């Protein structure tokens, strides 16, 4: 086993070789300077603490802006939560605090997770550290960018339809999304309950072995976490991976395809066989996902009405419908309005069977097809995204339907609740590309084993280390 | 799929959103493009039970014991109150 820089940092703190308070103080100065132009954080902590002992002793930990941190602005990238300071910690945050991690701030994201490029943020536009004219990816764009510039750090992120994998690929870091239910969602501001998963971003697969046991496990506050078997991260033999032809066949970027096949050859050199497989229902994953996600979002966001949470309405003389409507209309961004309305439409009498119920049936069929595909195959593989990180001016010219369609590689495992990982697979024009691996439910260990194999063949590049002072 | 302004207006009303004329125009165009793309699912053969979750969920309950998770005062501090009552809009 190799020792990662994060492991070395934790060891230095616990053994007293590094003064964590002094280190964190200097780091925050650099982060504040950097954040004025990079806008990766929606808010930085004034004085991170952490502990000098524990599995995460003093390690800087960032948290996506939709995961509640007690007393700290947690706004899910939305103006409607502008004044929200949660009165409690999310379970994942409590576990990190207990393990000694130092919370350094919340990372920028698309409003409620609604986006592929982190361009729908109310608290800044996160810039890709590889090229600041380009997107970090979304929706956990700030988390990915922060991981790319911070050596001793782990980001807590969240994925509904690819919000960890996409930005991890665009920013050249490791993005890990566990099985649905593996990590408690208590304290997560919902986008779509049946799809939301808290995960992490790191600079190496070894760092996943540190953080996953801490954040995983049953939580009485989240019923969906209660059915999980224990996390097994012991070494697994990876003999064969499958490449779904429905995914690979829709990629047109030649450089991404070429790099992917080179990656498969490198895996073969390590004794991992690869073969093409077919999962026909993948063709329907984009409409099925967006219908379900928007339907759930439209009900989840009903609670944001100018009372109880965040931004408050001013005109108490208004009738309640007008009061709620006024606040929602002024505070939700355009993409939030679009998805709320699409979801409301998909649930309306007359359309419910055609859209919502059909999408739920497609999900069932896709899960069954995935189960069949995994017989005799350890993992499925594809590139993570079908394009390099786009420039902001290119994104402005894309219609919503065009942007949704770009998620066809990351949506399937999210829709089926399968664990998956994105790792840097190569660089084109000095921009990173990701390889995406998918495992059966609860088989996170296979991803860790395959990741270790992959990192023997691949040297990652990071655009900067803010910790240059140490 | 053909969608008219009447549908956009109805959906906005149900969503508790008031749209400007520009927003209505944009959302009409977006809905038409997105629903055309979504119509792909019409051809999917999926005669199975709907999957409301990706994994099997068991209904597990906590013990029915009274407790205070967050002190009410702490919650009230975070809200606009009038004489310690939560303020809200008129109901009628």
**ipTM score assigned to the predicted complex:** 0.94
Please, which residues bridge with residue B82 across strands?
Answer: B85
Count: domains in chain B: 1
Domain contains B90: no
Which of A149-153, B45-49, B51-55, B67-71 has the least mean pLDDT?
B67-71
Residue of B37, B58, B88 with shortest CB distance to A227: B58
Residues of B in contact with A362 (CB under 8 A): 41, 44, 46
Domain contains B89: no
Q: Which residues neighbour A297 within 8 Å (Cβ) at sequence distance 6 or greater?
A: A112, A114, A190, A191, A192, A339, A340, A343
CATH of A1-470, one of 2.40.10.10, 1.20.1260.10, 3.40.640.10, 3.90.1300.10: 3.90.1300.10
Domain contains B67: no
- Dihedral sign (CA A42, A211, A69, A470): negative
Residue A275 to residues A239, A269, A377, A379, Cα–Cα distance (Å)? 11, 15, 9, 11
pLDDT at A169: 98
If residue A344 lies in a helix (H) or strand (E), which one and from where to where?
A: helix A334-347
Q: Would an 8 Å CB–CB cutoff place B82 in contact with chain A?
A: no
Domain contains B29: yes
pLDDT at B59 over 90: no
Nearest CA in chain A to B32: A401
Q: Which of A60, A77, A49, A57 is nearest to A158 (CA)?
A: A77
pLDDT at A232: 94
From the candidates B35, B41, B75, which should be mutated to test the interface with A, based on the most A CB atoms within 10 A?
A: B41
CATH of the domain at B9: 1.10.20
pLDDT at A264: 98
Residues of B in contact with A195 (CB under 8 A): 54
Q: Would an 8 Å CB–CB cutoff place B64 in contact with chain A?
A: no
Task: Give the pLDDT of chain A (470 residues) as one tens digit per residue.
Answer: 567 999 999 999 999 999 999 999 999 999 999 999 999 999 999 999 999 999 999 999 999 999 999 999 999 999 999 989 999 999 999 999 999 999 999 999 999 999 999 999 999 999 999 999 999 999 999 999 999 999 999 999 999 999 999 999 999 999 999 999 999 999 999 999 999 999 999 999 999 999 999 999 999 999 999 889 999 999 999 999 999 999 999 999 999 999 999 999 999 999 999 999 999 999 999 999 999 999 999 999 999 998 878 898 889 899 999 999 999 999 999 999 999 999 999 999 999 999 999 999 999 999 999 999 999 999 999 999 999 999 999 999 999 999 999 999 999 999 999 999 999 999 999 999 999 999 999 999 999 999 999 999 999 999 988 987 64
Task: Name the pairing type of β-strands A197-202 and A154-159.
Answer: antiparallel
Cβ atoms of A419 and A443 within 8 Å: the answer is yes
CA distance A404 to A290: 8
Domain contains B52: no
Burial of A230 (0-12, 13-18, 19+ CB in 10 A): exposed
CA distance A410 to A291: 16
- Dihedral sign (CA B4, B6, B10, B15): positive
Cβ atoms of A300 and A279 within 8 Å: the answer is no
Query: What domain range includes position B20?
Result: 5-43
pLDDT at A469: 67
Domain contains B56: no
Tokens of A32: 């504040």
- Dihedral sign (CA A89, A90, A92, A93): negative
Domain contains B13: yes
Nearest CA in chain B to A347: B11
Residues of A in contact with B59 (CB under 8 A): 223
Residue of A340, A400, A416 with shortest CB distance to B54: A416
* Ranges of H-type helices in A81-217: 91-98, 141-149, 165-171, 205-215
Nearest CA in chain A to B52: A360
Q: With an 8 Å Cβ cutoff, are B90 and A320 in contact?
A: yes
pLDDT at A312: 87
Cβ atoms of B41 and A370 within 8 Å: the answer is no
Q: What are phi and psi of A133, to 5 degrees?
A: -90, 0
Domain contains B77: no
């Amino acid at each position: 086993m190799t020792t990662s820089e994060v492991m070395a940092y934790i060891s230095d703190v616990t053994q007293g070789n590094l003064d964590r308070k002094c280190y964190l103080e200097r780091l925050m100065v650099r982060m504040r300077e950097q954040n004025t132009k990079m806008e990766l954080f929606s808010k930085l902590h004034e004085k991170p603490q952490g502990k000098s002992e524990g599995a995460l002793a003093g390690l800087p930990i960032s948290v996506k802006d939709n995961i509640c941190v007690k007393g700290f602005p947690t706004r899910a990238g939305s103006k409607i939560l502008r004044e929200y300071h949660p009165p409690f910690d999310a379970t994942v945050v409590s576990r990190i605090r207990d393990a000694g991690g130092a919370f350094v701030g919340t990372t920028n994201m698309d409003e409620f997770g609604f986006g592929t490029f982190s361009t729908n943020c109310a608290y800044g536009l996160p810039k890709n550290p590889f090229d600041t004219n380009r997107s970090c990816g979304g929706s956990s764009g700030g988390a990915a960018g922060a991981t790319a510039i911070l050596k001793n750090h782990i980001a807590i992120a969240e994925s509904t339809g690819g919000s960890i994998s996409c930005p991890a690929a665009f920013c050249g870091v490791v993005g890990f999304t566990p099985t649905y239910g593996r990590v408690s969602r208590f304290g997560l501001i919902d986008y779509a309950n049946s799809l939301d998963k808290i995960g992490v971003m790191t600079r190496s697969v070894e760092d996943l072995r540190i953080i996953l046991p801490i954040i995983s496990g049953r939580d009485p506050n989240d019923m969906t976490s209660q059915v999980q078997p224990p996390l097994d991260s012991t070494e697994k033999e990876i003999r064969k991976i499958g490449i779904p032809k429905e995914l690979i066949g829709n990629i047109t970027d030649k450089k991404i395809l070429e790099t992917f096949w080179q990656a498969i050859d490198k895996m073969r050199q390590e004794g991992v066989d690869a073969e093409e497989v077919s999962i026909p229902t993948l063709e329907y994953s984009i409409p099925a996902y967006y219908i379900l996600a928007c339907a759930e979002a439209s009900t989840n966001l009903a609670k944001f009405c100018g009372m109880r949470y965040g931004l408050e309405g001013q005109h108490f003389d208004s009738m309640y419908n007008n009061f709620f409507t006024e606040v929602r209309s002024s505070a939700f961004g355009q993409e939030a309005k679009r998805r709320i309305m699409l979801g409301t439409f998909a649930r309306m009498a007359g359309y419910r069977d055609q859209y919502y119920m059909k999408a739920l049936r497609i999900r069932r069929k896709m899960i069954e097809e995935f189960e069949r595909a995994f017989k005799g195959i350890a993992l499925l593989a594809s590139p993570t995204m079908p394009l390099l990180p786009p420039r902001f001016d290119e994104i402005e010219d894309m219609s919503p339907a065009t942007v949704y369609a770009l998620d066809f590689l990351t949506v399937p495992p999210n829709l089926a609740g399968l664990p998956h990982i994105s790792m840097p697979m190569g660089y084109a024009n000095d921009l990173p590309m990701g390889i995406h691996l998918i495992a059966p439910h609860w088989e996170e260990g296979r991803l860790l084993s395959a990741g270790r194999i992959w990192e023997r063949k691949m040297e990652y590049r990071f655009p900067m280390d803010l910790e240059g002072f140490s | 799929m053909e969608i008219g302004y009447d549908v956009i207006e109805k959906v906005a009303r149900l969503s508790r959103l008031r749209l400007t004329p520009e927003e209505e125009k944009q959302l009409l165009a977006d809905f038409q493009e997105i629903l055309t793309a979504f119509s792909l699912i019409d051809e999917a053969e999926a005669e199975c039970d709907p999957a409301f979750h990706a994994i099997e969920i068991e209904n597990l309950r906590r013990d029915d014991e009274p407790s205070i998770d967050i002190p009410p005062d702490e919650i009230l501090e975070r809200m606009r109150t009038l004489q310690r009552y939560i303020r809200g809009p008129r109901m009628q």
